[in-house]
Structure 1
Amino acid sequence: MSMKVALEQLGFGPCYHMVECLPRGPEHWQQWIDAAGGKPDWDTLFAGFGATVDFPACSSYQALADYYPDAKVVLTVREPERWFKSTQETIFAPHWIEYLRSVEMGQFIQATINDYLQDRMHDQEYLIQRFQEHNEEVQRTIPASRLLVFEVKDGWGPLCQFLDVPVPGGEFPFVNDTQAVKGILNKIIAEGPEAVFGYTGAPEP
Structure 2
Amino acid sequence: MATPKTNTTTTTTPLLKRTLTLLLSPLTDLHLSLHNPLWTFLETTLYALPHPPPRRKRTAPMRVICVGLPRTGTESLQQALLALGYSHTYHGWDIVYDESGGAGYAPGWVRLARKKWCNDISGKGEGEVEGVITAAEFDELLGHSVAVTDAAASVFAAEMVAAYPEAKVVLNMRRDVDAWERSLRKTLVHANQSWGFWIASWLDKECFWAWHVYERFLWPLLFRAPDGDMARAIEGNARWVQREHCNMIRGLVPKERLLEWYIEDGWEPLCKFLGKPVPNVEFPHVNTATGGWKAREEQCNKRWVERAFLNLILLFTGLIISIIVARRYLF
TM-score bucket of the superposed structures, by smaller chain: 0.7 to 0.9
Which 5+ residue runs of structure 1 have no aligned equivalent? Answer: 197-205
Q: Which residue number in structure 2 is paired with residue 27 of structure 1?
A: 104
2:293 maps to a residue whose letter is: V
CA distance 1:74–1:193, change in 2 (3 Å): farther
1:96 maps to a residue whose letter is: S
Q: Which residue number in structure 2 is paired with residue 88 of structure 1?
A: 185
CA distance 1:97–1:151, change in 2 (3 Å): farther
Structure 1 residue 45: Cα displacement: 0.9
**Structure 2 counterpart SS, 1:160:** helix
Structure 1 residue 193: Cα displacement: 6.0
Structure 1 residue 181: Cα displacement: 1.1
For 2:284 and 2:257, the matched residues in 1 are separated by 23
Superposition TM-score, scaled by structure 2 size: 0.54
Which 5+ residue runs of structure 2 have no aligned equivalent? Answer: 1-74, 116-120, 122-132, 203-207, 309-331
Q: Which residue number in structure 2 is paired with residue 104 of structure 1?
A: 209
Q: Which residue number in structure 2 is paired with residue 199 of structure 1?
A: none
Q: Which residue number in structure 2 is paired with residue 164 of structure 1?
A: 275
Q: Which residue number in structure 1 is paired with residue 81 of structure 2?
A: 7
CA distance 1:140–1:165, change in 2 (3 Å): same
Query: Is 1:178 aligned to residue 289 of structure 2?
Result: yes
Structure 1 residue 26: Cα displacement: 4.5
Structure 1 residue 186: Cα displacement: 5.1
Structure 1 residue 25: Cα displacement: 4.0
Q: Which residue number in structure 2 is paired with residue 48 of structure 1?
A: 144
**Structure 1 counterpart SS, 2:230:** coil
CA distance 1:112–1:176, change in 2 (3 Å): closer
Question: Given the alignment, which residue of 214, 218, 238 partners 1:127?
Answer: 238
**Structure 2 counterpart SS, 1:178:** coil
Structure 1 residue 125: Cα displacement: 3.6
**Structure 2 counterpart SS, 1:177:** coil
1:84 maps to a residue whose letter is: E
For 2:262 and 2:111, the matched residues in 1 are separated by 32
Superposition TM-score, scaled by structure 1 size: 0.84
Q: Which moved more, 1:145-154 or 1:173-182?
A: 173-182
**Structure 2 counterpart SS, 1:13:** coil
Structure 1 residue 146: Cα displacement: 1.1
Query: Is 1:66 aligned to residue 140 of structure 2?
Result: no
Structure 1 residue 18: Cα displacement: 1.8
Asked which structure has the greater CA Rg, the reply is 2
Query: Is 1:57 aligned to residue 153 of structure 2?
Result: yes
For 2:76 and 2:168, the matched residues in 1 are separated by 18
Structure 1 residue 191: Cα displacement: 5.6
User: Which structure would you say has the larger RCO, counting Cα contacts within 8 Å and 6 or more residues apart?
Assistant: 1
% identical aligned pairs: 26
8 Å CA contact 2:107–2:209 kept in 1: the answer is no
8 Å CA contact 2:188–2:230 kept in 1: the answer is no
CA distance 1:75–1:104, change in 2 (3 Å): same
8 Å CA contact 1:96–1:189 kept in 2: the answer is no
2:242 maps to a residue whose letter is: F
2:297 maps to a residue whose letter is: L
For 1:10 and 1:175, the matched residues in 2 are separated by 16
Query: Is 1:139 aligned to residue 267 of structure 2?
Result: no
Q: Which moved more, 1:69-78 or 1:17-26?
A: 17-26
Q: How many residues align?
A: 196
